[in-house]
Structure 1
């Protein structure tokens, strides 16, 4: 155990998880690579939990942060803030939500907390629909709408939450159905659920479940849900903390895979937009955003420095078509990983879109999750020079692969080779 690890354990909560038997101290990064305190270089396929979206040490972002910090680091929302207004204008235009208003926070948890506040205030109800296997953050309210047991840290709740089926395509009672019948069954489940309650405020859903193991329903499920929600006046909150900014390749936002229903009533974002800086936020049409009847501010949300980083990062992403790169390179990577997994009985499924890929591991010859195998692959990949993540709704048995969106074909091939060796070693 290193000295820093011992010091960490002495002052940190026991529930603050660390990856690896011998935890890493990362000291610097460049492009798609990071280095640890011993000077070992790693290809980064997790990006600080999908947060380093464009690249480590991106000059455009570091320059913007440095220049803004040299002028003014902090002001709060009590003063006009040009970088905040400029980024809000760009996010509002990109959101697809008409007459959009934007409120910045410091994290995805805080963004979802704000969305729940808006929805419950607008509807006058504390009843929320959420998806099974979901994850929405670590605040009291966000935990109370999290449908993943591994991350639902308390049964106490300020909200009355009801869980809907549909976020996981290949497990559960409808797994054997065709996509069309799966959607119909999930809609029937939603209709039945609403028949037993009244006055629900909103449905909150991740278009692709992140912590849950990069699972997703068939395209169009949330559009079908939206028809039911609209009849009942229920709002739709799309949690885009992990799916936003083009990561799925096919779409800029995850909700656009269900676009026949139009944009959500409320959209939340965070992680990648700051490329490591603490930015989260909520977009909603004016009627919903303005429903609060008391004053509110944010001390740190919309900080001039983080907004400067977000503007530079978003400009880089759009100018270099990183969404297109995620589609092209991600498509190659997922096919390579599927080929590698085809001959390994421990690999149940390789799934994903763009540069958001999950590999679900099971005990060979069964459908039982194998978290020990996932932990072993995580360690073996590190030994090979590759950092990945893990998650899943069945005992953390899914390997999560989400590199920066500037990943090259050569780096995708290198990472797939290392991961293939790690999977075979763990098997």
Structure 2
């Protein structure tokens, strides 16, 4: 039946719509941190639908909220007052740390970043955007145009002029050998030099931890230092929290808080985990930025009642059960366990990350040369062992991505680490 479905998939869907595994999986149901395929095989899920199933599969509090809201009204558009949307916006505005915040809901992280770019360019009257090398911000025409990862940027055409800044990948590039302090200083000087050769940009958009890029990150404080330079020129800072938000990094509720010396970003985007699988994205910005558009707009599906009900229930569960603290504790144990294993595997160049956002970079032993074939082999071996993980990276997709639901317990972390250890040892 799966082969039949795969044939039907290939007959009607685009060739560029990627599928994992040599024999792609059809997932039929899930519970907690586990999912099952159409053959009845059970897997420990360490990728959560690309960091989207943030709390747990089939979380009763969320499924109940969705069911009850579906029995009342599912959708009305933003042309009518919407209580769940207002309530979730109030919560997010307060949690964002942005003063006098306004919230606009979308259906995805791509659409959220697209909206942030619209706001920034309209507010600043500039179509020049600063973005980070190795970045990823979505699939739309404008988001692809600022994506600094060639594997996810199918066209060089863009409505924006994009200039790429160095600093998002700590252990590669010309400054990799420097101390953290010297690294930040060198990146800031690079930014100053870049700004001396261009018209005033609208904004810098940056992921505090690069998601598709392989869970890479700069030293804490880099974006705070960048912010000082940007503020001198009135340039906005957009924090792309689509993958880093809601406590996934453990140490902070938002990724930008590791760089918060100079206050919150001007604009912040979010998506993925807040809906626990329901389609929610959004933008938070200071009121003068959010309100700068001088034409009418609505969102047909952004903020619809059923997704807002899910988001409220999911956020409540996250906060009441301190899943950020759980990500810090269990994620800390998991990353140390994986580092101990990696020390014995020559093909593992680096294990990095924080909280439940962990990257394992695979290279040809003794070199910095990417090895996507071996990374793919580990992905397959982990699946055979009963574990689902992701992959990414800016160097030919040779990083494995580990991002379980934030309710992961210690026993499940140990189980997943043991499967990953066997998968990594299988490539030697």
Give the TM-score taking structure 2 as reference length.
0.99
How many Å apart are 1:199 and its aligned residue?
1.9
How many Å apart are 1:261 and its aligned residue?
1.1
- Find the counterpart in structure 1 of residue 163 from structure 2: 162
How many Å apart are 1:24 and its aligned residue?
0.1
The within-5 A match list for 1:17-416 is: 17-416=18-417
Q: Structure 2 unaligned runs (5+)?
A: none
| 1:185-230 deviation line (CA, Å, top 9, x unaligned) | 0000000000001221000000000000000000000000000000
| 1:44-83 deviation line (CA, Å, top 9, x unaligned) | 0000000000000000000000000000011000000000
Divergent runs of 4+, >2 A: none
| 1:308-335 deviation line (CA, Å, top 9, x unaligned) | 0000000000000000000000000000
| 1:341-387 deviation line (CA, Å, top 9, x unaligned) | 00110000000000000000000121101000110000000000000
Aligned length: 427
How many Å apart are 1:336 and its aligned residue?
0.0
Using the alignment, how far apart are the partners of 1:123 and 1:156 within structure 2? 22
RMSD: 0.5
Using the alignment, how far apart are the partners of 2:218 and 2:233 within structure 1? 22
How many Å apart are 1:153 and its aligned residue?
1.2
| 1:11-70 deviation line (CA, Å, top 9, x unaligned) | 010000000000000000000000000000000000000000000000000000000000
Using the alignment, how far apart are the partners of 2:134 and 2:368 within structure 1? 17
Using the alignment, how far apart are the partners of 1:151 and 1:367 within structure 2? 21
Using the alignment, how far apart are the partners of 1:18 and 1:247 within structure 2? 25
How many Å apart are 1:111 and its aligned residue?
0.1
Q: Secondary structure at the match of 1:426?
A: coil
